[in-house]
Chain A
């Protein structure tokens, strides 16, 4: 390698600046490692999302992308319980094509003895009810992303 090329390579390496992506999880996942997802409360609608109940869809999402090491369907020996209530609001809009479903997921994460660790709500809307429910549950999984610094 010529001296010029080496100098150019050194210059480019020197020009490399850091860039960090970070997230701080709402829960300490090293302390609260497992969660039991209680049956979801859904008003009025019977839904299946890709062949799954909304509860199973949420469990699958938390398993794949959430910060909990273990996500359970049974309230056995777990560190936390997650309770979710889905409310659906239908808006007719000005004409039939404008209609939207607004889905609000209100959630609460608590210890088995009832002490609340985290609570909040996420919402999403779409002209398709299934899509709106799915997106709201995806938002909930997104809320429980693990902490990272990349």
Chain B
């Protein structure tokens, strides 16, 4: 009997003790996955590497710019080398540079994709030939961009020269035969923000 009381007493005492209230569970929040479109910064500093698909030449170089809302500015400096010998030995391999100063409109922005339409001035200092040998052109271009992540994207551009110096012959082979007077460019681009 005594043993039964000793065992039962703590159980009874425990039963009388006020139970701690269960913490109210916070309502379960659904994880919100921001869409890429929502993640697009409205203004950003941009940078990247341009590679022009030019026959018998390597044309590659960096670009830098910024955009705000629907408009942007961009400057690029690509360097030009011959990938085959110059029969007249005027240059060894290095020809010069393409300096681009462009303004563009971000015509379409949908999710991770973007379409830019731009114009500006292209200057072609041909240092490899002579320090005073400069050619100029007035380009228009359409560029598609795909932002792989918030900060990195790839792009492809088609450029047409509305007006150009006589010595600049887009779409013309060395032997004078004519092809499409367009310049294609691929770009790997980053942005801040």
Contact = CB atoms under 8 A, between A and B. Distances in A.
A1 interface: no
A149 B126 CA distance: 13
Interface in A132-150: 138-139, 141-142, 145-150
A97 B96 CA distance: 34
Contacts of A20: 169, 172-174
Secondary structure dominating the interface of A: mixed
Contacts, number: 85
Secondary structure dominating the interface of B: loop
Interface size class of A (residues with CB under 8 A): 20 to 34
Question: Residue among B54, B90, B169, B186 with the most chain A CB within 10 A?
Answer: B90
Contacts of A19: 54-55, 57, 59, 168-172, 183
A15 B90 contact: no
A17 B183 contact: yes
Contacts of B183: 17, 19
A2 interface: no
B85 to A, nearest CB: 10
Interface of A: 12, 15-23, 65, 138-139, 141-142, 145-150
